[in-house]
Structure 1
Amino acid sequence: MKKIISFTLFNIIFYGLYASFPVDEAFLNNNYEEKKFKLDTFAFILGILTTILLPYSLLLLFIRKKNFRGSLAYGWLAGVALLIIIAIILIGLLAGGDISWMIY
């Protein structure tokens, strides 16, 4: 009987204490624009142009401009893709001179 009374008493106390403290909405961070990635056009073009000089262009990673490093990395990836496409076209031209197989 003693256990039932103490259990009921604790349940009543915990029910009264549940969410009885005020919640301040000032602590909520609803600023989602800071987390969005915006492509820096200058860094993207610089990344494409410096793909061949990749060991030297790693020094550009020390620039602390917002979204610069991410845009630079995307530029490097685009530059690598362009180099692969150019290499495929050159191999096709040197092998047979006919690039009609690339259309399909």
Structure 2
Amino acid sequence: MGIRLDREKATVQRMIKLYCKRHHHTKGELCLGCQDLSDYAMNRLDHCKFGESKPTCSKCPVHCYKPLMRSKIKEVMRYSGPRMIYTHPIAAIRHLIDGGTKNR
């Protein structure tokens, strides 16, 4: 696993954790549904055909999530994305940079 995918994994996990904490009122751990989503997302990233040149999810030309999981992760991203700048500012800025640059 490379640096770019490691950052993507960390960002997704932070977003799911933020969503779960605010919507399911968890403290420190994910609820079962969010844990399943996190495991699924990590598995998808582990098997991403783009590897280190993976674009951010919103710009990815391949939708590798099953429709149900895709709708769940979109809900998480819609909620957590704008809030990341307040809770994890460095990760949010890095994610914006990753999304605006072409990886080689």
Length-normalised TM-score, structure 1: 0.26
Structure of greater Rg: 1
Q: Which has the higher helix share?
A: 2
The answer to which structure, 1 or 2, has the higher relative contact order (CA under 8 A, 6+ apart) is 2
Length-normalised TM-score, structure 2: 0.26
